[in-house]
Amino acid sequence: MHSVLSVIPCLCLHFLLVCFQVQVFAEENLDFRIHVENQTRARDDVSRKQLRLYQLYSRTSGKHVQVMGRRISAKGEDGDKYALQAQLVVETDTFGSQVRIKGKETDYYLCMNKRGKLIGKLNGRSKECVFIEKVLENNYTALMSAKYTGWYVGFTKKGRPRKGPKTQENQQDVHFMKRYPKSQSELQKPFRYTTVTKRTKRIRPTNPS
């Protein structure tokens, strides 16, 4: 009887510890989600930036986004004389999927002003020139303004920019596909390698007939 009574306090203590751990875990989970959301919206000015070069293929216009000075369109053909204007340099922050996009040839940045209009700017340091890359369930990419939440980069079927307030994430107008320029295609091929053994070192490649 004495041994049973001595076990009861231990069980109670163990039960209290489990409840405490569950509560702490739930609070940490909630705080972590908030932390991730806050950090996604924050700029990372400490980490090294990553630069990428690609084209943005518009799902609606069937052509590529161009930053031609102050004018923005989605009328760029792949491979024509204006193809270079459709090549975009994308500066990526290490955390948060935030990017700044500029035309490779013009050096103008893609920006969205307070009226939701897409414009090009030489100085891209403003938050109006920062966008959040979102990979959608259909594998397309959407670009939401980091300053004006819920406003997206979008184009009509004729390649004309849509104003931010008239866009939504589920609209085809804001869906894009990343394409590497033809000049960069070789860099995107998977690396091929051959395992070298003592036997293969003695085998010389033969020229194809």
Domain ranges of the chain: 50-183
Task: For residue 93, give every residue at least 6 positions away whose Cβ sits within 8 Å of its Cβ, in sequence order, or none.
Answer: 43, 44, 47, 49, 99
- The DSSP letter of residue 206 is P
- Name the phi and psi angles at 146, rounded to 5: -75, -20
The residue-averaged pLDDT of 61-67 equals 95
CA distance 139 to 123: 31
Q: Which residue has the higher pLDDT, 193 or 150?
A: 150
User: pLDDT tens digits for 121-164?
Assistant: 999 999 999 999 999 999 999 999 999 999 999 999 999 999 99
DSSP lists the bridge partners of residue 67 as: 72
Angle at 126 between CA 122 and CA 130, to 5 degrees: 95
Q: Which numeric CATH code is attached to 50-183?
A: 2.80.10.50
Residues 21, 16: Cα–Cα separation, whole Å = 9
Give the three-class secondary structure for 65.
strand
**Helix extents (H) in the chain:** 2-41, 198-201
105 and 84 Cβ atoms separated by less than 8 Å: yes
Question: What global pTM score does this model have?
Answer: 0.66
How does the average pLDDT of the chain come out, rounded?
A: 76
Q: Which residue has the tokens 């033809």?
A: 182
Rg from Cα positions in the chain = 26
Range name among 18-27, 149-158, 198-207 with the lowest pLDDT average = 198-207
| pLDDT at residue number 193 | 37
Give the pLDDT band of residue 180 (cuts 50, 70, 90): confident
Nearest residue to 125 via CA among 96, 153, 91, 77: 91
Residue that the structure tokens 């013009």 belong to:
106
